[in-house]
Amino acid sequence: MSKTVFITGATSGFGRECALLFAQNGHKVIATGRRLDKLESLKNELKDCQVHTVAFDVSDKNAVFSAIAELPSDYKNIDILINSAGLALGLGHANDALIEDWDIMVDTNIKGLLYVTKAVLPVMVTRKSGYIFNLGSTAGNWPYEGGNVYGATKAFVQQFSRNLRTDLVGTNIRVSNIEPGAAKTEFSDVRFKGDTEKAAKVYEGIEPLVAEDIANLIYTLSMLPEHVNVNTLEVMPTCQTWGGLKVAKES
Residues 119-143: tens digit of each pLDDT: 999 999 999 999 999 999 999 999 9
150 included as an active-site residue? yes
Q: How many CB atoms lie within 10 A of CB 238?
A: 8
pLDDT band at 168 (very low <50, low <70, confident <90, very high): very high
The single residue of 75, 115, 150, 219 carrying the catalytic annotation is 150
pTM: 0.96
pLDDT at 245 over 90: no
Residue 247 has pLDDT above 90, yes or no: no
**Domain segments of the chain: what residues?**
4-235
| Residue 246: per-residue pLDDT | 80
- The 3-class secondary structure across the chain, one letter per residue, is CCCEEEECCCCCHHHHHHHHHHHHCCCEEEEEECCHHHHHHHHHHCCCCCEEEEECCCCCHHHHHHHHHCCCHHHCCCCEEEECCCCCCCCCCCCCCCHHHHHHHHHHHHHHHHHHHHHHHHHHHHHCCEEEEEECCHHHCCCCCCCHHHHHHHHHHHHHHHHHHHHCCCCCEEEEEEEECCEECCHHHHHCCCCHHHHHHCCCCCCCEEHHHHHHHHHHHHCCCCCCCCCEEEECCCCCCCCCCCCCCCC
Question: 130 forms bridges with which residues in the sheet?
Answer: 173
Evaluate whether the domain defined by 4-235 bears CATH number 3.30.450.80.
no
Bridge partners, 179 (sequence order): 234
CA pair distance 235, 242, nearest whole angstrom: 12
Residue pLDDT, tens place only, 89-117 = 999 999 999 999 999 999 999 999 999 99
**Closest by Cα among 71, 82, 69, 27 to 214:** 82
